[in-house]
Amino acid sequence: MSSPTGPSTRNTFLGMPAVPPRSPYGTGHLRGERAFPEAAQDELGNEQLRRNLGRATHSIRAKRLALTGELPDWEQLRDAGSAIKTDTMNRLPELLEQLEQKVTEHGGTVHWARDGVEANEIVARLVKNTGSDEVIKVKSMATQETGLNEHLASEGITAHETDLAELIVQLADDRPSHILVPAIHRNRDEIREIFLKEIPGIDPGLDTVPAHLAAAARAYLREKFMTTRVAVSGANFGIAETGTLSVVESEGNGRMCLTLPETLITVMGIEKVLPRFQDLEVFLQLLPRSSTGERMNPYTSMWTGVTPGDGPQDFHLVLLDNGRTAALADRIGREALHCIRCSACLNVCPVYERTGGHAYGSTYPGPIGAVLTPQLAGMHGAGDDPNSSLPYASSLCGACFDACPVKIDIPSLLVELRHQHTEESGSTAEGLAMKAAAAVMKRPKLFTAAQKAAGLGRVLAGRDGTLSRLPAPFDGWSDSRDTPAPPKQSFRSWLASPEGAATMRAAAAEGAPHTDDAPEAP
Amino acid sequence: MRIGLFATCLGDTLFPEAVKSTAVLLARLGHDVVFPPEQTCCGQMHVNTGYQREPVPLVRNFAEQFGDPSIEAVVMPSGSCAGSVRHQHEIVAERYGDAALRTGVAAVKAKTYELSEFLVDVLDAADVGAYFPHRVTYHPTCHSLRMLRVGEKPLRLLRAVDGIDLVELPEADACCGFGGTFAVKNAATSSAMLRDKMDHITGTGADVCTAGDSSCLMHIGGGLSRIRSGTRTLHLAQILAATRTSPHVLTEAAR
Ligand code: SF4
């Protein structure tokens, strides 16, 4: 077991890490302050949030189903996506080196960042080298994960988010709660309030018509696009074969960032590489349909190194590990790395729908976040690390698996991760209870005795035959559910009783061929 | 056919009527129902909560109890327990078992069925001769739906029930929020999911909400009882076993 601050995963032998390092504790946004059940409690109490989330997820869900349903080869596409990802993970080092070589050949510079801290330092240094103290940003999960904006601010550099939803979150000094729709938890009235308060010189008569809100943001962003010389982006895909990077988006603000500035710095998680250009064919069908429920996203930008006289003349690619190699070394983590961040699993998840993204405490919320976050950043200690609560933040209903375009079996991964967690936590009260339960259940005589003892619970039941208050840790259960008192007789004792035997004989007799029912001969 | 009945630990202890109905139904359909007496629990709760060592003896016991080759099919009134036997026993045996256990698990897995699957797929019996003159709505539990893919099978059986007024449940495939220990560990989130499920159920005006899992029904029924909704929960087997002459569900043993 490793302590939260302990570098125990970094024991060195001949300069090589014994185990690939996870994302360092206490940096970036891969860990919340509180365990999931506690953080969820607040969100559950927020009626507005639940209405906003419910409405948004239901409408995206319906759109996604309609559009995946219209492709006759949708299942084959999912299989293809899954197969390409498996192949990618199997030869990730080789593909990354190929990507580096191709990017360099085309005039770009590749940087390798072991963790978020390194990535942030590299980006800050690159920005400083340009002499600029401002950057514009295309929505990027990787830099959200590393906490780049905060780091840049500490270095005197201002980062402007240009994705509309990300801008709303940034202006409100809030955190994104969805990987694709960061402001999913906000409604139009709230957005209007935020704009009125935070955008200098805005028309005080602004109303809540979506087009007017978008226009206000556009006017604000236009000025940033025209005056800022450095941009930071993420990448949805990096093609090893050609060195091409790609960003897909809806608003075109990303394209402005990718083409207008002089310097472009892209931070990409190492798992985002794809072997061949042709592979985009599969993912550009899977991604928009799964994420926004669109046949095609409005803007797909691709760039390969630099092109003299066109677009940024200085291009840097920062390849981010931050726990990904550690995940790759793990059977669960490796499958989780297949994720293309489409957010389909969030949109169908009944838990996410009720709690929103903040309860997960991580840049990656929802079902895949519950797997990926502990894989990237670890679950330290016996249970006091909030990340330890994430594998349990699921009812294992399986809706996420059905929705995932690359067929990640999230429920099975969660069950495995729970196992990993209990194995690492040593002896706990729950573990002892599980052992005790198994000890009773493996001995039929003890089990039968326990059933008889359970029958005594009847004396505790109210007149309606139910138990309405249970002791801890079941008090949460009994807050909203009655529990039936155990019946007088278990099934097995009924079956062994004269009544049981008689009932079964009678049923068998009913089933026996009824000769008297046979049609009479004429 | 010689059928091994698995009562499930929850069914045996807390919901015997569902198991009795299963036994009676199968016997009435002309089959030889046997109850291996040393059976206990499939170990699903352990595995789902993150414990895979502890249930090894349970998995072994299950494989031994139902391993008898004269048992042609193992049937249980629970989608999630069938899911556990089919998908989790292998994992446990691979990790902590020996070769004998792996062989035993594979043999039992191949003949394990949830009740509605068994009736429709194996017996090809859509109409089991049931009579149930009540307004009923059906909740497809997650493990039946997505682990076993029972699909329309339970509905086919219900549609054939004489006298039934079967009403569709809005957003039927949404999880009820049970999830085993999830309902205890994340009680508040689970309750929020339950509230929506209950709204949909009561909105149908059904007298009875049915499903193929006593565990989910315990959760839903516990909620419906708490709000005094007047809608009761009954296991699918109880509806299918009810006939004009022996309406079992209506003479349910007093608790
Ligand atoms: S796990 Fe699958 S469904 Fe969820 S975001 Fe990733 S690719 Fe999309």
B130-169: pLDDT as tens digits: 999 999 999 999 999 999 999 999 999 999 999 999 999 9
In chain B the domains, ranked by start, together with CATH numbers, are: 2-123 (no CATH), 135-241 (3.40.50)
CA–CA gap between residue B73 and residue B26 (Å, rounded): 12
Q: pLDDT band for position B248 (50/70/90)?
A: low
Q: What does the pLDDT read at residue B247?
A: 65
A36-327: CATH topology is: Rossmann fold (3.40.50)
Q: What does the pLDDT read at residue A186?
A: 85
Q: What does the pLDDT read at residue A522?
A: 32
Assess whether pLDDT exceeds 80 at residue B109. yes
> Whole-model pTM?
0.92
The secondary structure element, H or E, covering residue A190 is helix A188-198
Q: How many A from CA of A288 to the centre of ligand 1? A: 12
Residues in chain B within 8 Å Cβ distance of A374: none
Could you tell me whether strands B73-76 and B2-5 are parallel, antiparallel, or unpaired per DSSP bridges?
Answer: parallel
**CA angle in degrees (0–180, nearest 5) for A123-A126-A127:** 85
Buried b / exposed e along A146-170 (16+ C-beta atoms within 10 A): bbbbebbeeeebebbbbbbbbbbbb
Atom 4, ligand 1: which residue's CA is nearest? A345
Q: In chain B, which ranges are continuous DSSP H helix? A: 9-13, 16-28, 44-49, 56-67, 79-83, 89-96, 99-109, 115-117, 142, 153-159, 182-185, 187-203, 214-226, 236-240
Residues in chain B within 8 Å Cβ distance of A391: 50
Q: What does the pLDDT read at residue A284?
A: 97
Mutate which of A491, A493, A503 to disrupt the B interface (most B C-beta within 10 Å)? A491
In which region does residue A280 sit, left (phi positive, over 0), alpha (psi from -120 to 50) or beta (all else)?
alpha
Question: Where do the structural domains in chain A lie, given as residue ranges?
Answer: 36-327, 446-499
Mean pLDDT of chain B: 94
Residues in chain A within 8 Å Cβ distance of B16: 487, 489-491, 494
Predicted interface score ipTM higher than 0.90: yes
A377's CB contacts (< 8 A; 6+ apart) are A22, A23, A25, A30, A31, A323, A362, A387
Q: How many A from CA of A11 to the centre of ligand 1? A: 33
Whether the Cβ atoms of residue A129 and residue A271 lie closer than 8 Å to each other: no
Whether the Cβ atoms of residue B186 and residue A393 lie closer than 8 Å to each other: yes
Could you report how far apart the first and last alpha carbons of chain B are, in Å? 33
Q: What does the pLDDT read at residue A18?
A: 66
Contact A391 B50 (CB under 8 A): yes
Q: What does the pLDDT read at residue A458?
A: 72
Q: How many A from CA of B191 to the centre of ligand 1? A: 26
In angstroms, the separation between the Cα of residue A419 and the nearest Cα of chain B is 4
Q: What does the pLDDT read at residue A243?
A: 98
Burial of A381 from C-beta contacts in 10 A (0-12 / 13-18 / 19+): middle
Q: What does the pLDDT read at residue A3?
A: 42
Q: What does the pLDDT read at residue B41?
A: 95
Ligand 1 nearest-atom number relative to CA A179: 5
Mean pLDDT, each 10-residue run in order, chain A (522 residues): 42 60 93 94 88 90 94 97 98 98 98 98 98 94 96 96 90 84 83 91 90 90 93 98 96 93 98 98 97 93 95 97 96 96 96 94 97 95 84 97 98 96 87 88 85 74 76 82 88 94 91 44 34
CA–CA gap between residue B81 and residue A388 (Å, rounded): 26
Whether the Cβ atoms of residue A224 and residue A196 lie closer than 8 Å to each other: no
Q: What does the pLDDT read at residue A520?
A: 33
